[in-house]
């Protein structure tokens, strides 16, 4: 009987690690996320993410052991945490299913929906599709942990062997486990920040990159801490020479007759002055479009079809200026960051949803400039 109880305890611990680690795939695997553009990470990055998550789970299990005396309490506490992590994964699935990317706590303000009825309809639609497309797999670990709790409460497997025998040696082992988990988490985070050092991801918060590189649970712990401890936008230390250049650029841009990059007065060129007056401005914003798609053809059953025929015609026209060297200027705000940059000509911070954090500020935009010149917008 005592051996069976010991096996049940070991089974609970193993299930906690195996099920929660496997459940990560619901967010990080292309198999369960066909509509999400995941990064094609190498084995080292994947291993680093696994190490970070395993270390965090080791830390959690170790803390539960340290702070519990009874085996029943340990099993229930570990199972409750397993249910919580399963619920987290399922919630992340809802978000990624709708937005096509990973969630960040810095996106939390985007949930403020002025159309509650629409929000309810979307939520019901998402839940229906999640279960219809077999995404319910994410809640299977929670059901297993619920079974463990029910079995512990009603079967009372530790009735005759209630308490852990925490000898000095076992206590030292438990603290070694905590230290090992902490080192794994720290090492994984260190590797991630080393990977993104001096890259686009250093200054721009991209949750999907963090989840795939640092680990699902590890990243969201870091993201939550950053969000709660550093809620305000972080102002980077700007080099004085660069700041002087920026001030000079802004001062020049505010002149009635600013100079171009050649040092020539832009208002003296009568050939282009008023060239686009009374013309219509149409802005097409395309999600996740890269330059390689332009003039790209794909073969379907022996027939060649252009991917972007309309854009192909525009880009090849002699009357069109086409800039084919463009780079991402967005961060955690994704689409809203792109809209902000397009309308204001300003780069978003990358670490926050700029629209929401600076919603009270007034900016000069394309729309306001057109309106000031009696255009309809």
pLDDT tens digits, one per residue of 39-79: 888 899 999 999 999 999 999 999 999 999 999 999 999 99
**CA dist., res. 272 & res. 270, Å (int):** 6
Given a cut of 60, whether residue 196 has pLDDT beyond it is: yes
| DSSP summary character for residue 135 | G
Q: Are 23 and 85 in contact (CB under 8 A)?
A: yes
Residue 262 is predicted with a pLDDT of: 78
Given a cut of 70, whether residue 1 has pLDDT beyond it is: no
Given a cut of 60, whether residue 112 has pLDDT beyond it is: no
Residue 85 is predicted with a pLDDT of: 94
Task: Indicate the pLDDT class of residue 356, thresholds 50, 70 and 90.
Answer: low
Task: Indicate the pLDDT class of residue 320, thresholds 50, 70 and 90.
Answer: confident
**CA dist., res. 185 & res. 257, Å (int):** 55
Task: Indicate the pLDDT class of residue 285, thresholds 50, 70 and 90.
Answer: confident
Residue 115 is predicted with a pLDDT of: 47
| DSSP summary character for residue 199 | S
CA 2 to centroid of chain Cα atoms = 46
Given a cut of 90, whether residue 284 has pLDDT beyond it is: no
Q: Are 38 and 212 in contact (CB under 8 A)?
A: yes
User: pLDDT > 70: what percent of the chain?
Assistant: 84
3-state secondary structure of 237: coil
Residue 253 is predicted with a pLDDT of: 80
Residue 184 is predicted with a pLDDT of: 97
The partner residues of 300 in beta bridges, in order of sequence, read 303
Residue 56 is predicted with a pLDDT of: 97
Given a cut of 80, whether residue 220 has pLDDT beyond it is: yes
Average pLDDT over residues 153-165: 85
Handedness of CA 204, 205, 209, 213 (dihedral sign): positive
Q: 376: number of CA atoms within 13 Å, CB side?
A: 1
With CA atoms as reference, report the closest residue to 372 among 250, 339, 364, 257. 364
Tokens of 228: 């709660």
Task: Indicate the pLDDT class of residue 131, thresholds 50, 70 and 90.
Answer: low
User: pLDDT > 90: what percent of the chain?
Assistant: 33
């Amino acid at each position: 009987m005592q051996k069976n109880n010991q096996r049940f305890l070991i089974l609970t611990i193993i299930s906690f690690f195996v099920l929660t680690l496997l459940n990560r795939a619901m967010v990080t695997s292309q198999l369960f996320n066909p509509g999400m553009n995941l990064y094609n990470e190498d084995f080292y990055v994947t291993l680093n993410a696994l190490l970070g998550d395993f270390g965090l789970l080791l830390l959690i299990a170790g803390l539960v052991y340290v702070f519990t005396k009874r085996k029943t309490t340990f099993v229930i506490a570990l199972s409750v945490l397993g249910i919580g992590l399963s619920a987290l994964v399922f919630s992340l699935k809802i978000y990624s299913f709708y937005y096509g990317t990973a969630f960040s706590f810095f996106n939390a303000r985007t949930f403020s929906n002025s159309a509650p009825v629409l929000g309810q309809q979307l939520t019901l639609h998402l839940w229906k599709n999640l279960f219809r497309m077999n995404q319910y797999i994410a809640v299977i670990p929670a059901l297993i942990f619920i079974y463990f709790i029910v079995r512990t409460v009603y079967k009372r497997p530790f009735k005759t062997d209630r308490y852990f025998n925490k000898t000095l040696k076992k206590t030292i082992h438990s603290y070694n486990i905590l230290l090992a988990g902490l080192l794994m988490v720290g090492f994984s985070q260190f590797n991630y920040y080393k990977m993104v050092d001096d890259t686009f991801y250093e200054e721009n918060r991209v949750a999907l990159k963090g989840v795939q590189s640092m680990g699902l649970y590890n990243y969201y712990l870091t993201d939550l801490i950053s969000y709660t401890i550093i809620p305000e936008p972080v102002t980077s230390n700007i080099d004085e020479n660069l700041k002087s250049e920026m001030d000079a650029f802004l001062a020049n841009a505010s002149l009635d007759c600013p100079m171009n990059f050649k040092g020539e007065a832009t208002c003296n060129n009568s050939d282009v002055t008023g060239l686009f007056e009374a013309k219509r401005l149409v802005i097409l914003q395309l999600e996740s479009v890269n330059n390689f798609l332009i003039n790209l053809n794909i073969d379907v059953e022996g027939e060649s079809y252009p991917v972007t025929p309309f854009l192909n015609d525009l880009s090849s026209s002699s009357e069109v200026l086409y800039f084919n060297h463009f780079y991402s200027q967005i961060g955690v705000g994704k689409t809203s960051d792109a809209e902000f940059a397009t309308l204001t000509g300003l780069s978003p911070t990358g670490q926050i949803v700029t629209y929401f954090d600076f919603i009270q500020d007034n900016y000069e935009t394309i729309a306001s400039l057109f309106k000031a010149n009696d255009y309809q917008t």
